[in-house]
């Protein structure tokens, strides 16, 4: 009788695995029954999908400080005025309690603390490779495959089930189609595959719509994806650009059907002022890069007056993309980027679509929020300029 009791006690102490999920490594992962504690290693994509699926409350530890920080960015203009922009990760705004749960990463975002992860006692870890936290073998971001292998080995050595996702940035091809598989995996983890795949279909609608509107265009504007990174200026450059083999260029050329003004390869390529003038793009896009960069910074900051004669600056065809802290790979909000790029390239073709209204409808659909919260999210992504300009 005593032996039977001991056996029953041991069995009751063991985790109960209710089902298996095949992750993007092709590996079958046992998912614990009654899943309540999930640790994430990403920069908001997993949390965004979990919000849509209604299971965000299961997040018990995070591996990215992007969902804890309050960001502030300041710049001055030639008339002596100072402008400050503030924003947070959309997940932090929607779920401020994320700030109170363990973060098993360094504030610099480059060292995972496996002891902190183990103490958080998650039932499952979900890792997205290609985000800033774990770039892994990322083709575009110069990631280190050894870093990825070490992270996977360390987590699995803790006997915690690990589900691995590969973001679009991880792959050598630039398109965004792999996000469908990411959503399939997350849907399977939370037993909501159909809902997760319907989310992909909704996100993909914007891409399809833009493709259909622009597919027959022959006269294509040149568009420069121009990161106003202060690190570039410190090295004697003006900004950083994205080459023709990057996801950024894929959106410009293959979805929007415009031309990437920079025809070289690589990402975060520093260009001098002279090189930018040699390109002289029709349209300039300002992404999140070491801070938020509004159009006004390029137009009026004293350190960019050397670019004041650029065609795009003269014609005021300079547009800021949504504030997306730690934006190494596309997150759930990527359709907003696509629409802004399309409208910037072809304003007449997309004059019937207002980005500021599209954003509200998008947040409501994806995150199931009311109008007040949707407007707040729009502000947190620093898109109020679309309201002010009726863009």
Please answer whether residues 211 and 255 qualify as being in contact, where contact means their C-beta atoms are separated by less than 8 angstroms: yes
Residue 390 domain-assigned?
no
190, 218, 249 — which closes off a domain?
A: 190
CA proximity to 390, closest of 364, 341, 351: 351
Which residues form the domain of 177?
Answer: 15-190
> What are residue 283's DSSP bridge partners?
223
Q: Are residues 233 and 156 in the same domain?
A: no
Count of CA atoms in the C-beta half-sphere (13 A) of 14: 9
For residues 32 and 132, membership in a common domain is answered with: yes
Q: Name the domain count of the chain.
A: 2
Q: Cβ distance 301 to 76 under 8 Å?
A: yes
pLDDT value at residue 133 = 80
- Domain identity same for 265 and 346: yes
CA distances from 353 to 226, 339, 357, 379 (A): 24, 9, 8, 19
Same domain flag for 295 and 146: no
Question: According to the model, what pLDDT value does residue 88 have?
Answer: 92
Please report the DSSP string for 304-329 in residue order.
GGGGTTSHHHHTT-EEEPPP-SS-SS
Q: Are residues 73 and 127 in the same domain?
A: yes
Beta-sheet pairing, 222-227 with 283-286: parallel
334 in any annotated domain: yes
CATH number for the domain harbouring residue 282: 3.40.50.1980
- Whether residues 286 and 183 share a domain: the answer is no
Determine, yes or no, domain membership for 162: yes
Last residue of a domain, one of 158, 190, 222: 190
* 151 shares its domain with 213: no
d(CA 324, CA 47): 14
Residues 269 and 123 in one domain: no
> 113 with 184, same domain?
yes
Residue-wise pLDDT for 273-329, tens only, equals: 999 999 999 999 999 998 899 999 999 999 999 999 999 999 999 999 999 998 888
d(Cα 271, Cα 279) in Å, to the nearest integer?
Answer: 10
How far, CA to CA in Å, does 187 sit from each of 190, 194, 201, 296? 5, 7, 13, 41
In a domain, 135, yes or no: yes
Question: Which of 378, 358, 339, 301 minimizes the C-alpha distance to 87?
Answer: 378
> Quick one: three-class SS letters along 34-66?
CCCCEEEECCCHHHHHHHHHCCHHHEEEECCHH
Low-confidence ranges of the chain (pLDDT < 50): 3-13, 137-142
Specify if 382 maps to a domain. no
Residues 6 or more apart whose Cβ sits within 8 Å of residue 31: 17, 18, 19, 20, 21, 124, 161, 189
Specify the pLDDT at position 347. Answer: 97
Six-digit token string for 32: 């614990």
Of 333, 350, 367, the domain-final residue:
350
Whether residues 160 and 62 fall in one domain? yes
377 belongs to a structural domain: no
Does 386 fall in a domain?
Answer: no
In this structure, the answer to whether residues 269 and 225 fall within a common structural domain is yes
pLDDT of residue 145: 81
Going from the C-alpha of 157 to that of each of 13, 154, 162, the distances in angstroms are 19, 5, 10
Residues 252 and 173 in one domain: no
In a domain, 158, yes or no: yes
């Amino acid at each position: 009788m005593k032996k039977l009791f001991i056996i029953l006690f041991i069995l009751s102490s063991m985790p109960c695995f209710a089902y298996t999920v095949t992750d993007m490594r092709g590996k079958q992962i046992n998912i614990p029954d009654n899943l309540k504690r999930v640790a994430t290693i990403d920069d908001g994509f997993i949390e965004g999908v979990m919000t849509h699926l209604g299971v965000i409350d299961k997040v018990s530890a995070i591996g990215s400080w992007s969902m804890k920080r309050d960001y502030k960015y300041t710049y001055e203009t030639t008339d002596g005025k100072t402008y400050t922009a503030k924003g947070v990760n959309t997940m932090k705004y929607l779920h401020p309690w994320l700030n109170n749960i363990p973060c098993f990463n360094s504030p610099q975002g480059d060292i995972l603390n496996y002891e902190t992860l183990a103490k958080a006692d998650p039932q499952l870890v979900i890792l997205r490779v290609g985000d800033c936290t774990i770039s892994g073998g990322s083709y575009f971001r110069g990631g280190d495959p050894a870093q990825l292998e070490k992270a996977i080995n360390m987590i699995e050595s803790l006997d915690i089930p690990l589900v691995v996702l590969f973001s679009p940035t991880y792959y050598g091809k630039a398109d965004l189609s792999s996000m469908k598989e990411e959503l399939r995996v997350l849907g399977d983890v939370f037993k909501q595959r159909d809902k997760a795949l319907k989310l992909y279909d909704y996100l993909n609608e914007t891409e399809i719509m833009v493709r259909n509107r622009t597919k027959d265009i022959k006269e294509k504007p040149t568009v420069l994806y121009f990161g106003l990174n202060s690190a570039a200026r410190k090295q004697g450059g003006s900004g950083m650009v994205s080459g023709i083999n990057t996801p950024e260029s894929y959106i410009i050329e293959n979805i929007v059907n415009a031309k990437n003004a920079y025809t070289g390869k690589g990402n975060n390529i520093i260009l001098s002022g002279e090189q930018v003038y040699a390109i002289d793009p029709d349209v300039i896009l300002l992404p999140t890069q070491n801070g938020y960069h509004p159009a006004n910074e390029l137009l009026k900051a004293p350190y960019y007056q050397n670019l004041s004669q650029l065609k795009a600056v003269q014609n005021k065809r300079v547009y800021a993309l949504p504030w997306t802290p730690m934006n190494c790979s596309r997150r759930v909000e990527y359709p907003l980027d696509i629409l802004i790029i399309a409208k910037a390239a072809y304003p007449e073709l997309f004059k019937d679509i207002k980005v500021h209204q599209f954003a509200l409808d998008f947040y409501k659909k994806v995150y199931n929020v009311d109008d007040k919260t949707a407007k707040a999210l729009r502000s947190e992504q620093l898109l109020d300029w679309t309201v002010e300009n009726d863009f």
